[in-house]
Structure 1
Amino acid sequence: MSETAVLEIIELDDGEIILRPAESEGEPLLRIRFSEEAAGLLRQSRFEVAREMIDHAITRTKLWDGEHDNVAVPGTLH
């Protein structure tokens, strides 16, 4: 049985949204920063949009080329 990587999506105080291994304070695996214009248009939906972008990258592409087949991304973390 293989181990499952647990990742978390976090919105930082400056509005940047990051993906990182759970309980890790190191360099994020991914950073998403919306322009001021996009953030204004998305308003409260920007976290959900970023989450969908990350979900697409992990599940619908070969982002890790099968290397991390068992990746669990929690629904919503703030």
Structure 2
Amino acid sequence: MSETAVLEIVELADGEVVLRSAEGEGEPLVSIRFSAEAADLLRRARFEVAQEMIDHALSRSHLVEGDEEEAQADPATLH
């Protein structure tokens, strides 16, 4: 049986969005901080945008089980 990490995405009081252990211990695994201009443009959608960014990164890195076939079929595109 494998160990499973329980992670959470939260927005901190300063507006930074982090991926961290659900226990809240240690440094965040990922942090996203939007510039003042981007935060103003996104307003309340800021958390949802950060959440999608983290979700995409996790699925592309094969950390989420079951996404291997989908990730191989969809090559990365940089613009």
Gaps of 5+ in 2: 66-79
Q: Which has the higher helix share?
A: 2
Size of the aligned set, in residue pairs, is 65
User: RCO greater where, 1 or 2, for CA within 8 Å and sep 6 or more?
Assistant: 1
Q: Which has the higher strand share?
A: 1
CA RMSD of superposed structures (Å): 1.4
| CA displacement at 1:69 relative to structure 2 | 4.3
Report which of the two structures shows the higher radius of gyration computed on alpha carbons.
2
Q: Percent identity?
A: 68
Gaps of 5+ in 1: 71-78
Tell me, yes or no, if structure 1 residue 7 matches structure 2 residue 7: yes
Moved over 2 A (4+): none
Query: What secondary structure, in the 3-state scheme, does the structure 1 residue paired with 2:8 have?
Result: strand
| CA displacement at 1:5 relative to structure 2 | 1.4
In structure 2, the residue matched to 1:20 is: 20
The Cα offsets for residues 26-64 of structure 1, whole Å up to 9 and x where unpaired, read as: 1100110000000000000000000000000001x12xx
